[in-house]
Every structure is written in structure tokens, then in C-alpha cells.
């Protein structure tokens, strides 16, 4: 179905079958950060440091480089074809429908598994403050709030994510300031300047060897997961040709600043052997220097992080299901929009799955389950990221092959195709390395079937389903030869 020129105009009518363009530039930038800085960052970082020592900094640097490459690939696609559920649609158009089906459902299931973990984390924190109310009730309550928000006008979702992300960013900045002063010996006892005492002591910079750095990469990837939500939100952002490149540029460097700098200061002031999943390693570091209020403060920050990540995760999973329904890879009723232009049924399906998992998690709240959830989320997130880069590679090749003028692209991935190939193969390597990590290997056992079964289903039955009749942007409508 051809898209009218007026519909392609920045800030014009919806170009995505009725979804509303209600997300502003500041919303888009903070939505991505909201999805990335979840409780997994504040809690999962302890696992990475415990597994790799101070060399975890290098693992996060590699993760930041991967994020940069993926976001540059996403930028080209999202600006050219700003459509909600983007990387599902891009995979369908530029890789294959079967792959798009497998990747899309795998991505959705990951959020269905992971969002409840965030709800439970929030429930545990509130239970500590109010022991009379059971953790389960808090988790369900947060689930109801998140459901209402995701069924509302998309601008409401964007505004909430904006302020929740601000809280997390301010907490990280506060930690950086305190950690820097502790490192210099200005505050935190009489030890004075720390130098390389903790950075190189207790076994050295890489006490468990360089291989341990690579073995933790799947957890690193899940800590960065959520940046792809920029693409999922593309169909609901105002002036995508301006807001998306700006969001990608700013979010990428902010991710690096908010991850690498705090982590480096952390391993400079805190013995890596004391890190773990029992509490936020950031709070533990400040507590070790007498700032005992840090535990309560970071409990609140982890609470906001859990709510924010649940909110953006449900948004991302819902838009992925909506895109699957639109492409004929899911029941048509999941593509229905409510009066606010929000995929209502897809949201209700997603939150129902989350509630089932919330109930299941109450029977086992062990740390190993949380680690498995992180690993599984990292696996499916990496599959989505690989798909984004693969789609961009095929998209550019297709334009060149069919004689389209590449110079008309408003945003182009730099160093093409080398950067794209690097992003794809380094992630493939990271997933392959999971097989050598006993703690995280289970993510392959669960993640691969979640990817393969929908592909098989589509090959046998799914291809018979017809796509929804909705207006959507296609590359043929945007570019000229």
C-alpha cells in the first residue's frame, strides 16, 4: 500500500497504521536510557566484577563499542523507514519472514520473562520498607500501574520514562562524585589516595584471566539491552529524521559515560572479591567507607530502575508483538489499536504473560534464577542486535543493487560495510562463548529453542497468514532512483 507524501512529512499524520507520534526528542533519548539502566545494572554489575575482577571495565568498553555500532546501523534504518516494531519489520523486509518471526517472538518472550524479574525486584525492595505487605502484592501492583501507563497515550509513557531515567542518572552521577572523592582520599576514612591498591591488588587487573572477560559478555550485553527500543519507538516519534540521529548520538555516549566511568571508579575503591548479587555493588562500596545511608538510597534507585525497565520493557515487547501481527506472524487481534493509538491487545497479552511469570518467580527467588534471566535476556537481545545490523547490511546492498541513490539517505552508517560486519561477528562470537560459561550456558538451551521454534512454525503454517491492511512506509516509497 502506497504511503502518501503528506504522511511522510515530519510530524505529520501517523505513518504506522494509526500509532500516534507523541514522543518528543527528550522522551526518545531517555526511553533508551530507561530501558538500559535497569536493576540488572545496579545488581548484575556485581556478578560481572566478581567473575572478571577489575578487568570488567574492559568488558564494558567492548559492550559500549558494540552498542555504538548497533545504534549507528539502527539509525540508518530508523530514519529511512520510521516504523514501530522496526527491527521486526526490517528483518521481514531485508532478511526473511521466517527469521523475523523467530527473532520477534524470541525478543517478546525475553521481556515477558525479564519484566517480572524487575517487578519482583521492586516488590522485594518495597517489602523491606513495608514488611506487612507481601512482595507478590507489590509486584502485582506495579504490574497494574505499568499496564495502565502502556495503555495510555504514548506521551504519558514517554514522560514517565523521562523522569524515572533522570533519577537513575542523578544517582549514578552522585556515585561518581563520591567515588572520585574517596579515590583521592578527600572523604571516606584515613587511607588517603587509593592509587592502584584495589585496581591492581588482590590478583591483579585480570585476576581470573583474560578469558573471564569474554565469558561475562552476555551479562554485559543484557546490561546494555534496551537501546534498541529507540528503533521500536521510531514510528511514534516526532520528526524522526531529526530526533533519532540525535537520540542515538547522545544515548550512545551517555551509555559509555554512565557505565564505564562509574565502573572504573568502583573497582578503584572497592575490592573486587567483595562484589556479588546480594546487594547493589555501588551501595556496598559506599557503605564500606561509612556512608551507610547509601544502602537505603540505592534501594530507592534500584526501585525506580526496576519500574522504569519494566515500563520500557513492556513497551518494547508490546511493539514487537504488534509488528508481528502487522506482518502476519501473530493473530490479527494483536494488531488492534485503542482510542489512544496504542496496541491494546498486544499490551494485555504481554502483561498477562508477565503476571504468570511473577507468580512463578515467587516459588524460587534464588540468585541463580536472576542470573539465568539476565543471561537469557542477553541472548535474545544479542539476536535482535545482530538482526538490526544484518538488516542494515542487506538494506544498503538492496538499494545499491536496485539502483537507488544512496546519497538521498538522510542518515548513513559510517565506515560501511566494515562497521556493520564487525558488529555482527563480534556478537556472534560473544554468543558462542556462552557455551564455555557454566553459569550462563543454560541461556543457549532455552534461548535457541525460543528462536528456532517460531521459525519452524512460520515455515510450516505461519506463512499462510496474511499481513494486516495498514499503511506503512516502504523503502520504495521513500527513495528515488
Q: Which letter, b or e, does each residue of 113-136 get, where b requires 16 or more Cβ atoms within 10 Å of its Cβ?
A: bbbbbbbbbbbbbbbeeeeeeebb
pLDDT band for position 342 (cuts 50, 70, 90): confident
Cell numbers representing residue 177 in the block: 562524585
CA torsion through residues 128, 134, 138, 140, sign: positive
Find the angle CA(277)-CA(317)-CA(319) to the nearest 5 degrees: 150
Indicate if the pLDDT at residue 220 is higher than 70.
yes
Beta bridge partners of 337: 343
Distance, CA of 124 to CA of 138 (rounded, Å) = 8
Question: For the residues 326-330, what does the mean pLDDT come to?
Answer: 86
| Contact (CB, 8 A) for 254 and 262 | no
What Å distances lie between residue 95 and 69, 326, 389, 469, 480, CA to CA? 19, 17, 11, 22, 22
Q: With 50 as the cut, is the pLDDT of residue 35 above it?
A: yes
Tell me the percentage of the chain whose pLDDT exceeds 70: 80
The residues that bridge with 126 in the sheet, in sequence order, are: none
Each domain of the chain, given as residue ranges in start order, spans 22-461
Angle between helices 367-401 and 86-94 (to 10 degrees): 50
Confidence class for position 238, pLDDT limits 50, 70, 90: low
Taking 60 as the threshold, does the pLDDT of residue 20 lie above it?
A: no
Contact call for residues 481 and 406 (beta carbons, < 8 A): no
Give the residues across from 16 on adjacent strands: 472
Decide if pLDDT at 10 tops 50. Answer: no
Q: What is the mean pLDDT of the chain?
A: 79
Reply yes or no on whether the pLDDT at 395 is more than 90: yes
199-213 average pLDDT score: 87
Higher-confidence residue: 1 or 314? 314
C-beta of residue 133 within 8 angstroms of C-beta of residue 126:
yes
Query: Whats the size of the chain, residue-wise?
Result: 481
- pLDDT value for 469: 55
pLDDT of residue 71: 86
What is the reported pLDDT for 2? 31
The counts of H helices and E strands in the chain are: 20, 0
Asked whether the predicted pLDDT for residue 237 surpasses 70, the reply is no
What percentage of residues in the chain have a pLDDT greater than 90? 17
Confidence of residue 23 (pLDDT cuts 50, 70, 90): low
Q: What pLDDT, in 10s, does the model give residues 420-451?
A: 999 999 999 988 888 887 877 888 888 899 89
Question: Max Cα separation, the chain?
Answer: 72
**Residue linked to cell 495498514:** 470
Q: Answer with the residue of higher pLDDT: 29 or 385.
A: 385
- The predicted structure's pLDDT at residue 7: 37
Instruction: Evaluate if residue 266 carries a pLDDT over 90.
Output: yes
Exposure letters 346-381 (e unless 16+ CB within 10 A, then b): bbebbbebbbebbeebeeeeeeeebbbbbbbbbbbb
Lowest mean pLDDT among 9-23, 98-112, 257-271: 9-23
Q: Which residue from 192, 102, 174, 79 is spatially nearest to 475, judged by alpha carbons?
A: 79
Place 13 in a pLDDT band, splitting at 50, 70 and 90: very low
Whether the CB-CB separation of 303 and 122 falls below 8 Å is answered with yes
Cell numbers for 123, please give them: 516488590
Q: What are the residue ranges of helices labelled H in 402-441? A: 418-433
The CATH homologous superfamily for domain 22-461 is Amino acid/polyamine transporter I (1.20.1740.10)
Rounded Cα distance, 231 and 233, in Å? 5
pLDDT of 222: 72
3-state secondary structure of 424: helix
Asked if the model's pLDDT at residue 17 lies above 60, the reply is no
Q: In this predicted structure, which of 27-36, 306-315, 360-369, 454-463 has the lowest mean pLDDT?
A: 27-36
HSE (side-chain half, CA atoms, 13 Å) at 101: 23
Higher pLDDT, 397 or 293: 397
Name the most confidently modeled range: 167-181, 243-257, 274-288. 167-181
Min mean pLDDT across 52-56, 297-301, 344-348, 404-408 is at: 297-301
Residue 396 is placed in which grid cell?
544498503
DSSP letter string, 183-201:
HHTSSSSS----TTHHHH-
Handedness of CA 355, 103, 382, 167 (dihedral sign): negative
Which pLDDT band holds residue 244 (cuts at 50, 70, 90)? confident
Between residues 164 and 14, the one the model is more confident about: 164
310-324, pLDDT tens digit by residue? 877 888 888 889 889
Predicted confidence band of residue 347 (pLDDT cuts 50, 70, 90)? confident
Q: In the predicted model, what is the mean pLDDT of residues 168-174?
A: 86
CA R_g for the chain: 22
Choice among 13-27, 242-256, 269-283 with the minimum mean pLDDT: 13-27
pLDDT value at 228 more than 80: no
Residues 337, 256: Cα–Cα separation, whole Å: 36
Amino acid at each position: 500500500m502506497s504511503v502518501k507524501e503528506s504522511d511522510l512529512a515530519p510530524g505529520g499524520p501517523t505513518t504506522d497504521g494509526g500509532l500516534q507520534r507523541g514522543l518528543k526528542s527528550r522522551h526518545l533519548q531517555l526511553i533508551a536510557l530507561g530501558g538500559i539502566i535497569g536493576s540488572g545494572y545496579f545488581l548484575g554489575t556485581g556478578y560481572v566484577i566478581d567473575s572478571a575482577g577489575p578487568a570488567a571495565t574492559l568488558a564494558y568498553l567492548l559492550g559500549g563499542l558494540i552498542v555504538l555500532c548497533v545504534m549507528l546501523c539502527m539509525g540508518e534504518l530508523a530514519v529511512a523507514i520510521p516504523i514501530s516494531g522496526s527491527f521486526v519489520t526490517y528483518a521481514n523486509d531485508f532478511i526473511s519472514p521466517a527469521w523475523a518471526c523467530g527473532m520477534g517472538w524470541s525478543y517478546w518472550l525475553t521481556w515477558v520473562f525479564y519484566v517480572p524479574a524487575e517487578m519482583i525486584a521492586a516488590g522485594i525492595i518495597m517489602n523491606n520498607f513495608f514488611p506487612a505487605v507481601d512482595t507478590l502484592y507489590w509486584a502485582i501492583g506495579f504490574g497494574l500501574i505499568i499496564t495502565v501507563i502502556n495503555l495510555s497515550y504514548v506521551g504519558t509513557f514517554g514522560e514517565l520514562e523521562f523522569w524515572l531515567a533522570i533519577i537513575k542518572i542523578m544517582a549514578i552521577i552522585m556515585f561518581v562524585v563520591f567515588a572520585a572523592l574517596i579515590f583521592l582520599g578527600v572523604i571516606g576514612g584515613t587511607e588517603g589516595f587509593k592509587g592502584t591498591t584495589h585496581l591492581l591488588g588482590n590478583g591483579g587487573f585480570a585476576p581470573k584471566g583474560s578469558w573471564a572477560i569474554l565469558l561475562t559478555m552476555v551479562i554485559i550485553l543484557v546490561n546494555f539491552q534496551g537501546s534498541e527500543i529507540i528503533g521500536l519507538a521510531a514510528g511514534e516519534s516526532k520528526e524522526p529524521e531529526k530526533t533519532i540521529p540525535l537520540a542515538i548520538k547522545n544515548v550512545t555516549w551517555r551509555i559509555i559515560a554512565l557505565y564505564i566511568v562509574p565502573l572504573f571508579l568502583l573497582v578503584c575503591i572497592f575490592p573486587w572479591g567483595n562484589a556479588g548479587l546480594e546487594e547493589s555493588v555501588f551501595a556496598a562500596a559506599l557503605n564500606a567507607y561509612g556512608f551507610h545511608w547509601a544502602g537505603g538510597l540505592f534501594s530507592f534507585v534500584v526501585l525506580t530502575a526496576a519500574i522504569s525497565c519494566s515500563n520500557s520493557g513492556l513497551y518494547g515487547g508490546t511493539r514487537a508483538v504488534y509488528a508481528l501481527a502487522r506482518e502476519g506472524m501473530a493473530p490479527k487481534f494483536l494488531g488492534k489499536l485503542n482510542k489512544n493509538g496504542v496496541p491494546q491487545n498486544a499490551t494485555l497479552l504481554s502483561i498477562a504473560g508477565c503476571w504468570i511469570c511473577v507468580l512463578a518467580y515467587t516459588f524460587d527467588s534464588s540468585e541463580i534464577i536472576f542470573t539465568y534471566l539476565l543471561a537469557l535476556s542477553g541472548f535474545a537481545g544479542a539476536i535482535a542486535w545482530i538482526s538490526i545490523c544484518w538488516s542494515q547490511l542487506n538494506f544498503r546492498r538492496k538499494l545499491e543493487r536496485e539502483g537507488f541513490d544512496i546519497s538521498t539517505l538522510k542518515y548513513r552508517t559510517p565506515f560501511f560495510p566494515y562497521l556493520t560486519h564487525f558488529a555482527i561477528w563480534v556478537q556472534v562470537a560473544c554468543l558462542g562463548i556462552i557455551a564455555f560459561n557454566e553459569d550462563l550456558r543454560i541461556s543457549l538451551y532455552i534461548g535457541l529453542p525460543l528462536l528456532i521454534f517460531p521459525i519452524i512454525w512460520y515455515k510450516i503454517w505461519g506463512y499462510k497468514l496474511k499481513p494486516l491492511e495498514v499503511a506503512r512506509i516502504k523503502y520504495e516509497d521513500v527513495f528515488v532512483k
